Amino acid sequence: MEIKNIVVSFPHPDDESFGTAGLIYESNQKNIPVTYLCGTLGEMGRNMGIPPIANRESLADIRKKELKDACEHLGIDYQLLGYRDKAMEFENKTQMAEHIKSILEEIKPSHVVTHYPGHGVHPDHNAQGAATIEAVRLMEPDKRPVVWAAAISHNYIEELGNPDVVIDAEKNFEFKMDAIMQHKSQAEGMLEKMEEPSEDIMIKELKERLGKEEFYIWHFNE
């Protein structure tokens, strides 16, 4: 199916930049609109900036602003779904799917990107991925968008085989890193943990980690 517009459905501010900035860059070049459905505000995140720019009380507001800045950099629209960080697995799955379905029916995307349930690593990734796929399943078959599921577990290739779609984000890596760095409270902690001896080695490792965005086409079995 031709890509006409895309909805990205992930749970946290910064997931859109880490997971789909390369895809978004390519979409921008083709004037394909992208909307990000952000499940939570990431208010339970461990990173607070280096030096700290947030505390447990202020983190939600800071991450909300960072998300706004990142989406402006990416050139995309976004909607906040309003769920609680690190608690999406405890939400009513049917209600969450219906919530997401109502938004998809309004936007009418040709493609939806979400996490592959069971291969999202974080419980929020798996929960929103499962709810998003269920939302699409509940739609009329002839109106369903194509679902691209991102697997990020360590063994996803062994379990799922080679991805169906691979985006080369290395080609526009500066754009992707600029998007990630809008999430200052989170990104600086990630970079500090790498502790690489030189900037060149750090960039090389980042490209190895983040330079490909890989997705599986989800097949619905009626």
Per-residue pLDDT in tens (0 to 9) along the chain, 222 residues:
799 999 999 999 999 999 999 999 999 999 999 999 999 999 887 665 555 666 667 899 999 999 999 999 999 999 999 999 999 999 999 999 999 999 999 999 999 999 999 999 999 999 999 999 999 999 999 999 999 999 999 999 999 999 999 999 999 999 999 999 999 988 876 776 665 556 677 778 888 889 999 999 999 985
Total-model pTM: 0.94
> The tokens of 148 are what?
């691209």
At residue 200, what is the residue type? D
Q: Name every residue whose Cβ is closer than 8 Å to that of residue 215 and which is 6 or more positions away in sequence.
A: 113, 148, 149, 150, 163, 164, 165, 166, 167
Q: Which helix (H) or strand (E) covers residue 79, if one does?
A: strand 77-80
Domain boundaries, the chain: 6-217
CATH code: domain 6-217 is 3.40.50.10320
The pLDDT value recorded for residue 50 is 58
Are the C-beta atoms of residues 164 and 215 closer than 8 Å to each other? yes
Centre a 10 Å sphere on the Cβ of residue 61 and count the other Cβ atoms it contains.
Answer: 12
Q: Which helix (H) or strand (E) covers residue 204, if one does?
A: helix 199-210
